[in-house]
């Protein structure tokens, strides 16, 4: 469980973590231990400021936060939607902007206009299911893939895919295009419900400091 | 052949010192209820589906354990106790019009998703005060929640209080449709105020109302509540804030305001709440360890209008929070072993009987 007196952050490994740390500097929070890229440490502590950090895979961040082993987490909106964990989503950090889209070849556009059964491949089965069942009212067969989802329509496994689109260049190279937008995405800060109550002042101050820093940018 | 000895996901065996601790903590909870004048009641583990249906506003249907009896009626394992208590209160206790205080303790069942690390069978101990709609009744329950947590061994905890009327009033004033309200609830309940703001703008809600809805999350103390009450124009929201202010004042008279924090943005998954709602939080638990609220409309569903308020303590989470806080579990009493041979059997049996008579657990062992 989260240590009393410390604020524990769960950050998404990679670019998102670097950007988050830079943003946290605006709120006066830093962690020199993390700057050493070769370190094998899993948990980084700044004793002076009473903060701890650890790095996790994106989809696990909401899990750590829901259980309260981390007070605060930073991860993409896509994983928050997909995991459906109960956490407070308090701030849109603005970076890591992209879109969740239904993509496929031009010929598949027609399939989305009727309610006929189609096959959808996705790394995000929950988001795909929610979009087709609850927003479009279309019956679909969802196939969970773990990467290179674009292959789905190309090799004939599925009619369309539901995936993150940043620039759309991978799609283009493979003869696919965005057919419909599901929702916009970006990095979000999430907070455990109990931490929000027990460390209310500290976390609120942090949120408003970060919000200010974001506005200036 | 492989033997099946593990339990299904979401249920487990509880034994040894953990069970001893659970029992002693539960005993402390129930004896505090008793001090506040509550009498225990037991209701059946399963009831007709209608008791827990959508109209009552309890757990979503897909999360209920459902099965059929021989006549083909749908039965449900209780997901919480409140509807059952309300039903039996209407049936047995409503004749003289006096307030009724009932408490319970038992297992409840929710068929939640796998692999989320959540129990499907939990132990809940709670109390319901039926037939008293006053602020003093609200505060009597809040005071009992605080005393119970203290008696259970918690030193640092906070009870967040909110009022469902505040949000409801604003939604009505903004003339939002049901779907928008659901979406808004979802966002407010995860404190996603920027998302809620975007949505309200999109739905063409007036600037002033937008601001009021979003301000709910920032209200922290009585002064801010008063300011908000002055700015709110619809009656329902105004009444809700006034009620919270009154509740806060009475909690001060109880001398318990240090444990109370105001959270107007708090919403409950249970739809039967009509007024005050509250949740108790502490370190070492990822979610609320006790919760409750006022449900003045529920008894009417069973044929007898009466105001009511209740609270429930989630024993599984309470025990793990206590363990995380370093509170030691009750030790199992040592069992004395009396060894004997073929010859001194009689003497050994006498000795064992003596030990048991004096209240010490003892067993014999032939060597």
**Each residue's pLDDT tens digit, B56-66:** 777 888 899 99
pTM of the model: 0.83
Q: What are the φ/ψ torsions at residue A11 (nearest 5 degrees)?
A: -110, 150
d(CA B184, CA B157) in angstroms, rounded, equals 29
Same domain for A199 and A165:
no
Instruction: Check B117 against A91: CB less than 8 A apart.
Output: no
> Measured between CA atoms, how close is A156 to chain B, in angstroms?
31
Length of chain A: 217
Check whether B116 has a pLDDT greater than 80.
no
Strands (E), A13-66: 43-46, 51-56
ipTM surpassing 0.90:
no
Least confident interval from B132-146, B218-232, B333-347: B218-232
Contact predicate B52/B83, CB 8 Å:
yes
Say whether both A105 and A78 belong to one domain: no
Task: Say whether both A16 and A88 belong to one domain.
Answer: yes
Residue A211 belongs to a domain: yes
Q: Which of A88, A191, A194 sits opposite B285 (nearest CB)?
A: A194
In Å, how far are A105, A142, A192, B289 from A198, measured between CA atoms?
51, 41, 10, 13
Give B-chain residues touching A194 at CB under 8 angstroms: 281-283, 285-288
DSSP classification of residue A186: -
Are residue A172 and residue A195 in the same domain, yes or no? no
On whether residue A62 sits in a domain, the answer given is yes
Interchain CB distance below 8 Å, A194 and B261: no
CB atoms within 10 A of CB A158: 24
The SS3 of residue A78 is helix
* pLDDT tens-digit readout, A138-170: 889 999 999 899 999 999 999 999 999 998 898
Q: What are phi and psi of A94, to 5 degrees?
A: 80, -25
| Cα–Cα distance, A151 to A161 (Å, whole number) | 9
Query: Above 80 in pLDDT, residue B115?
Result: no
The pLDDT of residue B55 is above 90: no
The pLDDT of residue B54: 79
pLDDT of residue B334: 84
Contact B288 A1 (CB under 8 A): no
Q: CB distance B287–A194 less than 8 Å?
A: yes
Residue B196: what pLDDT?
Answer: 84
Cβ atoms within 10 Å of B343's Cβ, excluding its own = 8
Instruction: Decide if A1 is inside a domain.
Output: no
User: Does A2 fall in a domain?
Assistant: no
> Please, where are the H alpha helices in B153-204?
164-173, 178-189, 193-202
Measured CA to CA, the distance from residue B267 to residue B269 in angstroms comes to 7
Flag if A67 and B117 touch (Cβ within 8 Å): yes
Residues in B closer than 8 angstroms to A59, CB to CB, are: none
pLDDT digits (tens, 9 = 90+) for B176-212: 888 888 888 888 888 888 888 888 888 888 888 888 8
- Residue A156, classified by CB atoms within 10 Å of its CB into exposed (0-12), middle (13-18) or buried (19+), is exposed
Percentage of chain B lying above the pLDDT 70 cut:
97
Q: What is the CATH number of the domain that holds A134?
A: 3.40.190.10
Q: Measured between beta carbons, which residues in chain A are less than 8 angstroms from residue B324?
A: 1
Low-confidence ranges of chain A (pLDDT < 70): 1-4
Q: Which domains does chain B carry? A: 1-156+283-332 (3.30.930.10), 160-262 (no CATH), 337-366 (no CATH)
Q: Return the bridge partners of A7, or none.
A: A51
A134 and A68 housed in the same domain: no
Asked if A110 and A121 sit in the same domain, the reply is yes
Q: A191 to chain B: which residues are within 8 Å by CB?
A: 191
Q: Are B333 and B170 in contact (CB under 8 A)?
A: no
Q: Give residue-wise pLDDT tens across range B206-264.
A: 888 888 888 877 767 888 888 888 888 899 999 999 999 999 999 999 999 999 999 88
Q: State the count of interchain CB pairs (< 8 A) between A and B.
A: 55
- Is A49 within the bounds of a domain? yes
Instruction: Count CB neighbours of B223 within 10 A.
Output: 9
Q: Tell me the pairing of strands A72-76 and A187-191.
A: antiparallel
pLDDT at B228: 87
* pLDDT at site B330: 62
**Count of alpha carbons within 13 angstroms of residue A174, beta-carbon side:** 19
Which H helix or E strand runs over A18? helix A15-26
| Helix-, strand-, coil-residue percentages of chain B, each rounded to 5 | 45, 20, 35
Domain co-membership, A19 together with A70 = yes
Answer yes or no: is A41 within a domain.
yes
Measured CB to CB, residues of chain B less than 8 Å from chain A are: 117, 156, 158, 160, 190-195, 220, 261, 263, 281-288, 324
Are B191 and A88 inside 8 Å of each other by CB? Answer: yes
Alpha-carbon span A160 to A99, nearest angstrom: 16
Query: Which of A68, A186, A196 to mutate: most B Cβ within 10 Å?
Result: A68
Domain identity same for A30 and A92? yes
Tens digit of each residue's pLDDT (9 = 90 or more) over B284-333: 787 899 999 999 999 999 989 999 999 999 999 999 899 888 877 666 67
Q: Are residues A153 and A170 in the same domain?
A: yes
Question: Same domain, yes or no, for A152 and A163?
Answer: yes
Contacts of A87 in chain B (CB under 8 A): 190
Residue A59 lies in a domain: yes
Residue A149 lies inside a defined structural domain of this protein: yes
Chain B residue numbers touching A214 (CB-CB < 8 A): none
On whether the CB atoms of residues B139 and B203 are closer than 8 A, the answer is: no
CA distance B227 to B233: 12
Taking only residues 139 to 198 of chain A, the set having a beta carbon closer than 8 angstroms to any beta carbon of chain B reads 191-194, 196-198
Tokens matching residue A158: 């599925």
Q: Nearest-CA residue of chain B relative to A184?
A: B195
A91 contact residues in B (CB cutoff 8 A): 194
Say what the pLDDT of residue B179 is: 85
Task: Compute the mean pLDDT over every residue in chain B, rounded to the nearest whole number.
Answer: 89
* pLDDT at residue number B332: 63
Count, residues in chain B: 367
Q: Which residue of B has its CA nearest to A208?
A: B218
Contact between residue B23 and residue B152 where contact means Cβ atoms under 8 Å apart: no
- Judge if A125 and A190 occupy the same domain: no
Per the CB < 8 A criterion, the answer to whether A87 and A62 are in contact is yes
Share of chain B above pLDDT 90, in %: 57
Number of folded domains that form chain A: 2
Q: Do B194 and A92 touch (CB under 8 A)?
A: yes
**Domain region containing A65:** 7-96+186-216
User: Helix or strand or coil: residue A196?
Assistant: helix
- Shared domain for A156 and A194, answered yes or no, is no
Q: Shortest CA distance to B257 belongs to which of B244, B267, B275?
A: B244
Tell me if A90 and B191 make a contact (CB, 8 A cut-off).
yes
Rounded to whole angstroms, the Cα distance separating B129 from B143 reads 13
């Amino acid at each position: 469980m989260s240590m009393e007196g410390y604020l524990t952050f769960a950050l998404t490994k990679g670019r998102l973590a670097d950007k988050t740390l830079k943003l946290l500097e605006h709120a006066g929070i830093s962690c020199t231990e993390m700057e050493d890229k070769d370190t094998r440490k899993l948990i980084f502590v700044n004793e002076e400021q009473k903060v701890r950090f650890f790095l996790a895979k994106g989809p696990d961040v909401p899990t750590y936060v829901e259980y309260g082993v981390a007070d605060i987490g930073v991860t993409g909106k896509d994983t928050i939607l997909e995991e459906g964990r109960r956490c407070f989503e308090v701030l849109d950090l603005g970076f890591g902007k992209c879109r969740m889209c239904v993509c496929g070849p031009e010929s598949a556009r027609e399939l989305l206009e009727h309610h006929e059964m189609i096959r959808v491949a996705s790394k995000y089965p929950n988001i795909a299911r929610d979009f087709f069942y609850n927003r479009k009212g279309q019956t679909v067969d969802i196939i969970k893939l773990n990467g290179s989802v674009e292959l789905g329509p190309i090799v004939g496994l599925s009619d369309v895919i539901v995936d993150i689109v940043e620039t759309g260049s991978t799609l283009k190279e493979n003869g696919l295009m965005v057919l419909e937008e599901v929702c916009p995405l970006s990095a979000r800060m999430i907070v455990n419900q109990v931490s929000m109550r027990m460390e209310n002042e500290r976390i609120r101050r942090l949120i408003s400091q970060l919000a200010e820093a974001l506005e200036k940018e | 052949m492989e033997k099946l000895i593990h339990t299904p996901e979401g249920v487990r065996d509880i034994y040894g010192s953990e069970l001893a601790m659970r029992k002693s903590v539960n005993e402390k909870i129930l004896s505090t209820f008793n001090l506040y004048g509550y009498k225990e009641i037991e209701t059946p583990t399963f009831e007709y589906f209608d008791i827990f249906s959508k109209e009552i506003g309890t757990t979503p249907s897909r999360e209920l354990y459902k099965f059929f009896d021989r006549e083909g009626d749908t039965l449900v394992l209780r997901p919480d106790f409140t509807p059952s208590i309300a039903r039996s209160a209407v049936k047995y206790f409503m004749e003289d019009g006096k307030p009724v205080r009932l408490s319970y303790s038992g297992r409840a069942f929710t068929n939640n998703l796998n692999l989320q690390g959540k129990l499907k069978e939990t132990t809940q101990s709670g109390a319901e005060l039926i037939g008293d709609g006053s602020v003093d009744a609200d505060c009597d329950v809040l005071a009992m929640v605080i005393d119970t947590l203290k008696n259970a061994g918690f030193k640092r905890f906070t009870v967040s209080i909110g009022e469902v009327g505040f949000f409801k009033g604003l939604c009505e004033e903004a003339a939002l449709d049901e779907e928008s309200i659901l979406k808004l609830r979802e966002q407010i309940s995860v404190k996603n105020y920027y998302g809620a703001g975007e949505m309200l703008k999109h739905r063409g809600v007036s600037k002033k109302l937008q601001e009021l809805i979003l301000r709910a999350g920032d209200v922290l103390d009585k002064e801010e509540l008063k300011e908000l009450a002055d700015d709110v124009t619809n009656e329902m929201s105004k009444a809700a804030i006034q009620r919270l202010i009154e509740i806060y004042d009475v909690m001060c008279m109880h001398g318990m305001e240090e444990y109370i924090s105001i959270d107007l943005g708090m919403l409950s998954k249970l739809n039967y709440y009509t007024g005050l709602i509250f949740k108790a939080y502490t370190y070492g638990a990822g979610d609320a360890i006790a919760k409750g609220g006022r449900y003045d409309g529920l008894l009417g569903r069973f044929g007898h209008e009466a105001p009511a308020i209740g609270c429930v303590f989630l024993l599984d989470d309470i025990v793990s929070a206590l363990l995380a806080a370093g509170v030691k579990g009750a030790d199992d009493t040592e069992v004395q072993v009396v060894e004997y041979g073929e010859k001194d059997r009689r003497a050994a049996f006498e000795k064992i009987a003596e030990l048991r008579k004096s209240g010490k657990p003892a067993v014999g062992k032939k060597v």
